[in-house]
């Protein structure tokens, strides 16, 4: 039975084979093994544009054309909707297939696909990505423009859900980073660019990821009325493999500590011995149990 569906119709998609294997280019996030580079020439409908001043004072317009969105409909009573974000070079389809197998009949999963954009760490080679990544180090600057565009895409997908449906965001690797960034936008009630954040989140999950903009978070939380209260009550689950050779385990651990120390009092951090940069059933079982409890879902019996 088909449970996934493509939300975007009429988009022209051109695919070509990557000239090189991603393993040759990749030093950050080798989660995609199928090496197809999809360049989207869609209409302006689903795109998000923003301007920034480039070198020489010219305004350079970065256009974010998001890819296909796959939806897994709830098998039982719909109580929550969770947007789930894939890792670098991947797409929404692969995660929607995994999420569909989870025993969470009350959740509707929305799995968007990131825009295809040139990635610094790949020497400018295009890949599906929620934001641009240079070297993955703690001092690397965050691509706020890209993060804002992706967080806004996620919020748009959630904003049409009915009022009585609880909302969540989760993801893997840079998808986890985008989910945790969305958590900070929700608590601050605004994106990095100052625009208002429109959704109320009830749960955030990050697997094998990290928290962007962690250094400035504490100061920003102090400046916003009520941000501490929202931070204190938002449930977050971070999971990380101790054997992760792509996004180091210490990034996950430090992100969890950064959240806890800035007033996020409902953070669970789970470490997995021997787990690399991928997921295992034991981890997804933990995610299921956590979501059931934090979203107050009826579960299988409904
Ligand atoms: C989508 O874009 C096409 C042109 O690419 C335009 O004709 C159409 O009106 C747009 N639809 C919406 C809903 O904006
Ligand atoms: C999505 O990514 C998977 C690998 O994670 C690949 O096998 C599949 O072909 C991709 N699908 C699309 C529609 O790009
Ligand atoms: C989010 O929650 C606040 C406070 O609980 C409420 O005032 C606001 O209307 C909610 N916004 C949405 C979009 O549900």
Q: Is 208 left (phi over 0), alpha (psi -120 to 50) or beta?
A: left
pLDDT at 6: 40
pLDDT at 290: 98
CB of 91 shorter than 6 A to ligand 2:
yes
pLDDT at 145: 95
Mean pLDDT per 10-residue run, the chain (302 residues)?
Answer: 36 31 33 25 31 45 90 97 96 96 97 94 90 78 94 97 97 97 98 96 97 94 94 97 94 96 97 95 97 92 53
Nearest in space to 203 (alpha carbons), one of 294, 105, 289: 294
CB 119, CB 132: distance < 8 Å: yes
Which ligand is in closest contact with the Cα of 42?
1
pLDDT at 59: 52
Using CA atoms, how far apart are residues 85 and 41, in angstroms rounded to an integer? 21
Query: Alpha carbon of 302 to those of 76, 101, 103, 108, 288: distances in Å?
Result: 7, 17, 12, 15, 16
Q: Angle at the Cα of 185 (from 183 to 187), degrees rounded to 5?
A: 70
* Distance from residue 45's CA to the centre of ligand 1 (Å): 6
* Distance from residue 68's CA to the centre of ligand 3 (Å): 29
pLDDT at 121: 84
Buried b or exposed e, range 162-195, using 16+ CB within 10 angstroms: eeebbbbbbbbbbbbbbbbbbbbbbbbebbbeee
* Distance from residue 198's CA to the centre of ligand 3 (Å): 9
Residue corresponding to tokens 């009022």: 163
CB of 106 shorter than 6 A to ligand 2:
no
pLDDT at 66: 96
Using CA atoms, how far apart are residues 206 and 169, in angstroms rounded to an integer? 9
Helix/strand number for the chain, H first, E second: 8, 13
CB 38, CB 67: distance < 8 Å: yes
Question: H or E element: which one contains 228?
Answer: helix 227-233
Domains (range + CATH), the chain: 13-294 (3.40.50.1820)
């Amino acid at each position: 039975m088909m449970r996934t569906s493509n939300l975007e119709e009429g988009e022209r998609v051109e695919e070509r084979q990557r000239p090189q294997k991603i393993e040759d280019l990749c030093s950050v996030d080798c989660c995609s093994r199928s090496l197809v580079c999809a360049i989207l020439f869609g209409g302006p409908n689903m795109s998000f544009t923003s301007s920034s001043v480039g070198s020489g004072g010219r305004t350079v317009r970065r256009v974010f054309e998001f890819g296909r969105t796959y939806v897994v409909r709830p098998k039982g009573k719909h109580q929550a909707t969770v947007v789930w974000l894939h890792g670098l070079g991947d797409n929404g389809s692969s995660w929607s297939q995994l999420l569909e197998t989870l025993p969470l009949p009350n959740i509707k999963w929305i799995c968007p696909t990131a825009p295809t954009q040139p990635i610094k760490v790949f020497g400018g080679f295009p890949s599906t990505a929620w934001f641009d990544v240079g070297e993955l180090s703690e001092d690397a600057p965050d691509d706020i423009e890209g993060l804002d565009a992706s967080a806004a895409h996620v919020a748009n997908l959630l904003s049409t859900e009915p009022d009585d449906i609880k909302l969540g965001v989760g993801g893997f690797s840079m998808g986890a980073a985008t989910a945790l960034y969305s958590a900070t936008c929700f608590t601050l009630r605004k994106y990095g660019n100052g625009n208002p954040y429109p959704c109320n989140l009830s749960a955030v999950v990050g697997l094998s990821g990290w928290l962007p903009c962690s250094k400035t978070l504490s100061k920003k939380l102090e400046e916003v009325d009520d941000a501490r209260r929202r931070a204190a009550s938002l449930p977050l689950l971070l999971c990380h493999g101790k054997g992760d050779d792509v996004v180091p385990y210490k990034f996950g651990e430090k992100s969890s500590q950064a959240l806890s120390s800035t007033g996020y009092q409902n953070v669970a951090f789970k470490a997995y011995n021997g787990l690399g940069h991928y997921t295992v059933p034991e981890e997804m079982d933990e995610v299921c149990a956590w979501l059931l409890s934090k979203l107050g879902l009826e579960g299988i019996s409904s």
